Amino acid sequence: MTAQHDADRLVHAFLQEGPAELSSPLTARIRAEVHETKQRTGFRPWRKSPMPRMLWIVAPLAAVLVAIGGLLVIGSGRQTPAPSPTPTAVPSPSVGAASSAEPSAYPIAAGEAWIVLGGTDHATLVRSDGTGRHDILTNVGVSVTDPDWSPDGNQLVFEGNGTRGSQLYVVDADGTGLRQLTPTPDGCPNGVCTEAVNPAWSPDGRSVAYVAPQHGGGIFVRSALMVIDVASGTMTEVYGTDQATLGRPTWSPDSQSIALEISHYVGSVEASALKDTVIAVIDLTASVHTPRTITDPALQGGYPAWHPTLDLIVFRTNRVDNSTGALIDPRAPSDLYTIHPDGSKLTKVTANVVGGQIVRAPSWTPDGRILYTVHDPVTAAEALRVVDVDGTNDASPAGSTTLSGQGRWRPGS
């Protein structure tokens, strides 16, 4: 503990060192470039912009014409097609401002095996053989976290951190067609801000499950498991609690159940140390959506991922308690396990040692192997690995190429 304290003190002192002032040449360069740069028109979605005067005349006229047209169509016995709902609930102000130019498409051939890696300000796509590496979603005004494939492998849903917190976005796999899925709330009603994180696309393609954390002034208020209908944008709360934090939902192959991690704290939620983290399953067909815990709290299980076709969930144990900066159980290793959704047949996949590498973010490849990330606590290096469900054939998914970050393998490839 003393050694850690000394190290932290040194790090703190080290980070006080740096340049003392902005140089005059830099100030002059900034001034010159600012002079050449035009300010964007303000985009303030929380303010209703007044309707231009001309529209006061044109809009009612257009409405009358549309009504007459509609009557004519009905009179002719033909049905007016219903407007097709779009997944675009509300355009993001930051995305709208930053993506004025549509990015060029990078073709993703049908059936081709790709892995998506979440980056800080972009997502990276790379073929499973390590070729074709390229970034998408650069300069879109939001950072990119937890990308997840649509079941047809043609789109990605991800958590975008923008100027108003995190919301979910959908983009075509070739990097085009970015649109916001969950709407940005109009401010923080009653001082409570709601975000959308950890998206998971349902196997039937209709819905995206996610977690909606609520905070007021940076203090935890509530955590809810939500499902949004991709076509209509209708959001439904599946389960909510102010006694724990929820995370990492994952769908059963029939889209009828969701597994997720639930974290409990020794005192105030998020403000005190973690007590335990468990995996629980919620049956969406039940009248009451009560989470059914399937892992022993002592395991500290988290980050579940449901097999694409089987009743099998992979998860990692012994998560990090970020408030203390250590694994929850320093006497236990960090490993991958599988378990059946009824809590039976707990099976260890990896065999790490105490103090050894930390595993996280497991997911499944379409052929039933486990893709996961290892973190070396000494070098801080991260690497993406793939391993058979029985723990054999552990390797880099891209052969001799090392990939880092959290990956998701494209379905159907």
Partner 1 sequence: MDRRLVELAQGGDEDAFDALVRVTGDRCLGIAYRILRDVDLAEDAVQSAYVSAWRDLRSLRDPDRFEPWLHRTLARACYEEARQSRRFTANVRSLPLAAMSVPDGAIGVVERDQLERGIRRIPVEQRTVLVFHHYLGLTLSEIADRLGVPIGTVKSRLFYATSAMRAVLEAEARPSPMSRERPA
Q: Judged by CB, which is closer to partner 1: 205, or 240? A: 240
- Residue 261's SS3 state is strand
183 binds partner 1 (CB under 8 A): no
379 binds partner 1 (CB under 8 A): yes
Q: How many residues bind partner 1 (CB under 8 A)?
A: 69
Q: What are phi and psi of 135, to 5 degrees?
A: -100, 145
217 binds partner 1 (CB under 8 A): yes
CA separation for the pair 375, 357 (Å, rounded) = 6
Here the tokens at position 383 are 């690497």
Beta-carbon contacts of 116 under 8 Å, excluding residues fewer than 6 positions away, are: 123, 124, 125, 147, 149, 156, 407, 408, 410
Here the tokens at position 384 are 């993406």
Q: Judged by CB, which is closer to partner 1: 30, or 55? A: 30
Tell me the closest approach of the beta carbon of residue 255 to partner 1, in angstroms.
26
48 binds partner 1 (CB under 8 A): no
Piece of the chain touching partner 1 by CB under 8 A; list 235-243, 296-304, 322-330, 365-373: 322-330
Query: Judged by CB under 8 A, which of 2, 39, 80, 344 binds partner 1?
Result: 39
CA separation for the pair 281, 306 (Å, rounded) = 11
Cβ–Cβ under 8 Å, residues 98 and 122: no
Here the tokens at position 215 are 């905070």
CA separation for the pair 283, 28 (Å, rounded) = 62
Cβ–Cβ under 8 Å, residues 318 and 274: no
78 binds partner 1 (CB under 8 A): no
Q: What are phi and psi of 68, to 5 degrees?
A: -65, -45
Here the tokens at position 264 are 């409990």
Tell me the closest approach of the beta carbon of residue 162 to partner 1, in angstroms.
6
Q: Judged by CB, which is closer to partner 1: 152, or 376? A: 376
325 binds partner 1 (CB under 8 A): yes
CA separation for the pair 177, 86 (Å, rounded) = 12
Piece of the chain touching partner 1 by CB under 8 A; list 31-39, 48-56, 76-84, 103-111: 31-39
CA separation for the pair 165, 197 (Å, rounded) = 10
Q: What are phi and psi of 110, to 5 degrees?
A: -60, 135
Q: Judged by CB, which is closer to partner 1: 307, or 385? A: 385
CA separation for the pair 163, 182 (Å, rounded) = 15
Please identify which residue in the block is written with the tokens 């983290």.
277
Query: Judged by CB under 8 A, which of 166, 194, 350, 413 binds partner 1?
Result: 166
Query: Judged by CB under 8 A, which of 150, 161, 184, 277 binds partner 1?
Result: 161
Q: Judged by CB, which is closer to partner 1: 155, or 161? A: 161
Binding mask 254-293 for partner 1 (x = CB under 8 A): ----------------x-----------------------
Residues 104-143 that bind partner 1 (CB under 8 A): 120-122, 143
Query: Judged by CB under 8 A, which of 91, 130, 151, 165 binds partner 1?
Result: 165
Q: Judged by CB, which is closer to partner 1: 75, or 325? A: 325
- Residue 72's SS3 state is helix
Closest CA relative to residue 136, chosen from 170, 167, 89: 170
Query: Judged by CB under 8 A, which of 75, 77, 81, 218 binds partner 1?
Result: 218
- Residue 58's SS3 state is helix
Query: Judged by CB under 8 A, which of 1, 19, 110, 288 binds partner 1?
Result: 19
Please identify which residue in the block is written with the tokens 């498409």.
105
Binding mask 329-368 for partner 1 (x = CB under 8 A): ----------------------------------------
Please identify which residue in the block is written with the tokens 């130019």.
101
Query: Judged by CB under 8 A, which of 87, 126, 147, 195 binds partner 1?
Result: 195
Piece of the chain touching partner 1 by CB under 8 A; list 168-176, 254-262, 302-310, 315-323: 315-323
CA separation for the pair 311, 252 (Å, rounded) = 7
Site residues (vs partner 1, CB under 8 A):
3-4, 6-8, 10-23, 26-27, 29-31, 33-35, 37-44, 46, 93, 97, 120-122, 143, 145, 161-166, 195, 197, 213, 215, 217-219, 245, 247, 270, 320, 322-323, 325, 375, 377-381
